Structure 1
Amino acid sequence: MPVTVAQQNDVNAVGRVHLEATPGALTAGESTVLSVTLKDRYNNPVTGLSGGDLIIIKDLFVDEEVTGLSWRETGSGIYTSSALMMKLAGTHSLQAKVVTNIGEYDDSATIQVNHPSGSRYVKQVEFKVPAEFNAGEEVTAEVTIKDEYGNGVAGVAEAITLTEGAYVLNINFRTTDTVGVYKGMLTLTKAGEHLLKVTISEANETKLVKVNPLAAAALYLKSISAGASVGENTVVTVRLTDRFGNGVSGFAADIRLSDDREDLSDIRFRPSSVEGEYEATVLLTRGALQHTMTATMIYGVDQFNSTKSWWVDVPSGSRHVVGFSIDDLQQRAGSNQQADILVSVRDRYDNHVRLNASDFTISSSLDGQLPVSLRVAGSGTTAQYSLTIISLSPGRHTLTLTLNGISETREIDIIPAGG
């Protein structure tokens, strides 16, 4: 029986090509080995070829030729490649082709390259979140996890953490239809800038987001400068917030202030350095009274009010005195030969002024400057001072009382005891 034997070492003898890949299913980053069987048109093996020069491998999945393979003949007409690493996940169709002087002969094999699964494969992370949104708004946070070759990594949803500083945010990421892409719903209620950091394994990425406050929902009369007293500027601070307590700015012109003791209709607020806080400077004119102040803002159909009460003291010190009157001058004869002077003192708003004995200067035409003892002889805005002068010489005195550069004079006769 006649036998046809293919010519060795001649690529033009090739008439059939068969390709196999082992394994045919693997994970991205793993390798497969190709086996190409070459036969002539009579099904005889073609041997002795240099496969690296003559066998062309093309990956149709990426439409690129595979380079860098080395070949060795491992059987009669069977050529085996060096390991071929499959980096890109997907269904790859590899084509082995041999070109002869008659034509081209090829065959294909399918390799399933699976996405990696698990944190150990993570090398890259991409984080997407809206750059700006409102307090309380639910937004989508998207995280893409990749291996070193850019393939999505599966099975890591529970390993993803989202933090702001040392605080771990409560968000549950879930898988999507795209391998390696995970989504979660994020809600932030504190207005301002937040630096968010997503972390998995050794990989992380940060995003700066801005959270805007909602519409105004509450007004607070926050503080009144301590020690408020008549004739001195008092700073009143109010805070406007949304329903989450975030400061709401831009409403200084809409806030009004009223007081049960004063007319504050001309008071206007200004923004402070704190978001959502506003300040107004108030000059109070009525002292020794309990004041009840109310801040009000009308926003659309809503009206917000806040009330605070505090004690407003009278001014202290002779510098506040703009006038006084001597209401009574009484001589008391006796061994000390005393005189009592009853004085009413007022500031420019007709309030009582708190004074000490050293604030008063009393001189006599007979005795010169005199020592004074002092006591308060009234209360509130009508308070008076009773001044007692002792050790006066007998005779007619012209007494001069001076307070803050203002003087009043009275005459008095001092009769010696027993006289």
Structure 2
Amino acid sequence: MITARELAFNALQKIETEKKRSDQILHRMLQHSVLNRIDRALSTGLVNGVLRYRLQLDFIIGKFYHHKLDKASLVIKNILRLGVYQILFLDKVPDWAAVNECVKLARKYKGDRMSKLVNGVLRKITSEGVTLDEWLKDKKPEEQLSLKYSHPLWLVERWMNTYGREKTEAILAYNNEFPLLGFRINRLKTSGEQLFLDPALEGVSRELCGVDNFFLSKEFISFEPAVNDGLLTVQNPTQSLACLLLDPKPGSVVLDFCAAPGGKATFIGELMENSGEVIAVDLYEQKLLKTESHAKALGITIIHPVVGDARSFVPDVRPDAIILDAPCTGTGVLGRRTELRWKVNPGMLLELQKLQAELLDHAADLLDVDGVMVYATCSIEPEENMLQVKSFLDRHPDFVADTQYGGVPLDFLKHLSSAGAVLTLPGEYPGFDGGFCQRLRKVSMVSNE
């Protein structure tokens, strides 16, 4: 029978070689395992921990591994990472147990010779023997932060240039914390007061977050029945801000571009009191099926999923408002998507800027005068956010940045980056991911030819 550590090892191997997200790979593997709840939690913690701290772990291993680590096989690297993570970060796991289990994995997957190498390396590494601060003291500040918080150096350098050292360090630290879950109360079916009258939720830890009908919690299992019954949706409150900024009215027509998996579409449906129409457009049919299923569970009947390319799709009717949740680097959600920090790169940033501009230009043509568009990302990179909007406004004199903030709570308007825009940095508000949204209004039908 596969153990929790072996499942974590296999998951790490697949994450390196497959294009799917780490949480999807891990979920699929756990579904097909017979591990109990404690072992499932251990597997999940090991995978996320190794992914978060990969750079730091490799740096530490390199101090004790007397060969070039980058030349080692992926199997050996991931086994060593698992061992060092347990030794340094999991107080409840005895060092000898971490070493023995990793030696067994090495023997099974690489043979006796490599198992002896793993044993030799891991037995040298102890919490007392790892003096990270001492090893980092002569490095440049950005290199220190990169290794201490295990983030790519190029990202650390960007953020220090954009936000300064103090904010950058706060972002890095937050990205390595266990993320809180956000929950949205479905106002079509219940209220916060009514929901928490349920005896099953009495005493369950939760905290308010400053956005009506949202709360945060470390718990999921206690709230799972309410999620299944359509009373709650799992959604980080940062995602709500774009919908509140759009401020959709009951009876209106809203076009949601890049809609899947449907978190914003369903919240918009709730804000519109299930009256009007939400046209949810996405390239991927399978993802839209989930949107449709989720809307049904929530009792929302006004969402109409459409498989289409948001760069060319034209609805049958002119929408009153458009929300464009653009594909982006996702640098605001690195704490939640643990592998993403190692997959995003400068080239990807450049490619996505071009796609975002295409999406914005096409969406602009679909609105009548006085129509509203909200552009949103889960990125904290200026090129995808404020600079992308500035470039759009330069190309489109028929649009202005709209200074109406709809239903966005006042607390989130204290540090505005520009007119009509809301930027949240990871952890700036407890439990909130990083994200950006900008409200734009069409003021004329000027030709952009």
**Could you tell me the TM-score, scaled by structure 1's length?**
0.19
Larger radius of gyration: 1
Q: Larger relative contact order (C-alpha < 8 A, sep ≥ 6)?
A: 2
Q: Which has the higher strand share?
A: 1
